[in-house]
Amino acid sequence: MYVYNDYDQQLVNDRVEQFREQTQRYLAGELEESEFLPLRLQNGLYVQRHAPMLRIAIPYGMLSSLQLRKLADIADEYDRSYGHFSTRQNIQLNWPELERVPDILAELATVQMHAIQTSGNCIRNTTTDQFAGVLADEIVDPRPYCELIRQWSTFHPEFAFLPRKFKIAVNSAESTDRAATRVHDIGVQIIRNNAGELGYRIYAGGGLGRTPVIGQVVSEFVPEKHLLTYLEAIVRVYNQHGRRDNKFKARIKILVRAMGIEKFREKVEAEWAHLKDNDSTLTGNEIKRMQAHFSEPDYADLPATDPAVEQLKADSKGFRNWLERNATAHRVPGYTAITLSLKKTGVAPGDITSKQMRAAADLAERYSFGETRVSHFQNLILADVRVSDLPALWEEAKANGFATPNIGTLTDIICCPGGDFCSLANAKSIPIAEQIQRQFDDLDYVYDLGNLDLNISGCMNACGHHHVGNIGILGVDKKGAEFYQISLGGDSGLDASLGKILGPSFNAEEVPSVIEKIINVYVKERTEEEEFIDTVRRIGIQPFKEQVYA
């Protein structure tokens, strides 16, 4: 993974001192609340319902065991011994004290981490596929490009006070999009053109929130070396022309829609014409330098299968189930990628205790070259596990609460912190996730349902990505009471689509049975091999409506 050089380290060290000084001025009354606000936000610090919330950056989801242990220490020392993985591959602490945040940042800096631009109206953490580098369907490893974007966007002087937050995601898989690039402000799809040259298809104007939109193509092919100048052109056009009079209309998606994609493209291309081939153009050396940070680990020459594993598969249904849902095929024979589930029933989705962080760090060291990844589905991944280690890893994963074999299923729920923590919430989301997990506690049944994304957001800010859940649940406020609106048919993949609202909302108690009715319609209507989303696309939402509101 990326390792800091002296400059990278100096930059985060400087930031710690800068923020310490800003915090002191704020506490001394020299900075007003409104002035401190953007400064603390650009450092990931929110003021939440109960206490501040600190969002720590995990660039494109990569964590070393050293970093994970440091996060565990910080959670113990400064918080309540747990953290929460967000849907953008970051981690959040829910109970830090404002006065001690500079010390937390100083601790993070010792392990090459920071909280820079994890919030605020600036360019946020760049996200990508949690399986980057290990799957066969990838064009190239997207992480070097993510790191290039991270460095370019870090403290970009021109783009720190944009109309609104700005999120970039990179996908390099050919047949799927695990990074949900089409619902980002900019989506970078790495491609090869007909001549075999590497480049990017650039989407802009996607986003969730109260006006969900699927991104549109700005350029079909931007050659590899022009990545940063092209991004710069887009963000400059947005910074100049994005709306600033209404924060609900300030995202780039509104600008793209208002201008129309042709006009927007014209402006971007005109701006880019001035930048193309300037000094910000990537050099072959720089791309190579980045790629060297993500070189292959030292894979051994291994047989593709292992007799002991085959035996255990035959003997143990539990093991079989776990592999079926939590293992992903690796491009190197004898290895597999394993997802450690953070979706155990009764635990808030994405929550992890400090004890689990240390356990995951140990597992990563023992079984996966000392690295873990965070997925935007709020789980942890060990990307390079030897097949022969699977039985031992399974035992240890079970012992640490990581082995819930539900990845990709109905109970692998994406869920925002919601009303339990977030001051913007209309309704709680974590208890809803738990109720649904309890309702669907029959694993065999859940498996039979197959792949199904269920996403929950506590308000229309959509941190839980409800619009792109196959089933989406949105917390709404109805005369001061908490209600839930349900939508069907969302999808964040290559074929991205937004869910359609089923009808009037429900109270919390009704939600699990409504989900059950929806599932029943699917089970009844599905054809062989049809996944939930396919059935919804084929039959539309009417049959579901009829059952649910019967």
Partner 1 sequence: MPELIVNREVVADTFSYLTVEDAVPATGDVIVPLAVWQDQADSLLARGGRTGVWLASDQLAEDLDERVHQADVVAIEFPKFVDGRGFSTAYLLRNRLNYQGELRAIGDILLDQLFYLQRVGFNAFLLPDGKPAAKGLELLEPISVRYQASTDTPSPLFRQLESA
**Residue ranges that bind partner 1, judged by CB under 8 A:** 7-8, 10-11, 14-15, 17-18, 21-22, 35, 38-39, 121, 151-163, 228, 236, 239-240, 244, 274, 278-280, 283, 285-286, 289
Strand-pair partners of 46: 53
Q: Least separation, in Å, of the C-beta of 229 and partner 1?
A: 10
Helix/strand number for the chain, H first, E second: 18, 21
Q: CA separation (Å) from 361 to 67, 168, 267, 397?
A: 8, 28, 47, 12
Residue 283 near which of ligand SF4, partner 1, none (CB within 5-8 Å, type-dependent): partner 1
Burial of 458 (0-12, 13-18, 19+ CB in 10 A): buried
Residue 458 near which of partner 1, ligand SF4, none (CB within 5-8 Å, type-dependent): ligand SF4
Cβ-based nearer residue to partner 1, 159 or 440? 159
Cβ-based nearer residue to ligand SF4, 237 or 463? 463
Residue 197 near which of partner 1, ligand SF4, none (CB within 5-8 Å, type-dependent): none
Q: Least separation, in Å, of the C-beta of 115 and partner 1?
A: 15
Cβ-based nearer residue to partner 1, 39 or 261? 39
Cβ-based nearer residue to ligand SF4, 165 or 226? 165
Instruction: List contacts with ligand SF4 (CB under 6 A).
Output: 416-418, 422, 424-425, 457-459, 461-464
Tokens standing for residue 17: 């001192």
Residue 341 near which of ligand SF4, partner 1, none (CB within 5-8 Å, type-dependent): none
Residue 457 near which of ligand SF4, partner 1, none (CB within 5-8 Å, type-dependent): ligand SF4
Cβ-based nearer residue to partner 1, 39 or 191? 39
Cβ-based nearer residue to ligand SF4, 87 or 216? 87
Cβ-based nearer residue to ligand SF4, 197 or 477? 477
Tokens standing for residue 438: 């309890």
Q: Are 237 and 221 in contact (CB under 8 A)?
A: no
What length does the chain have? Answer: 550
Q: Least separation, in Å, of the C-beta of 424 and partner 1?
A: 18
Tokens standing for residue 343: 């979706």
Residue 520 near which of ligand SF4, partner 1, none (CB within 5-8 Å, type-dependent): none
> How far is Cα 506 from Cα 478, in angstroms, rounded to an integer?
10
Residue 500 near which of partner 1, ligand SF4, none (CB within 5-8 Å, type-dependent): none
Strand-pair partners of 335: 386
- CA-nearest of 335, 337, 315, 317 to 326 is 337
- Secondary structure letter of residue 63 according to DSSP: E
- Give me the phi and psi of 338, to 5 degrees please: -115, 130
| Per-residue b or e along 45-55, where b marks 16 or more CB atoms closer than 10 Å to that residue's CB | bbebeebbbbb
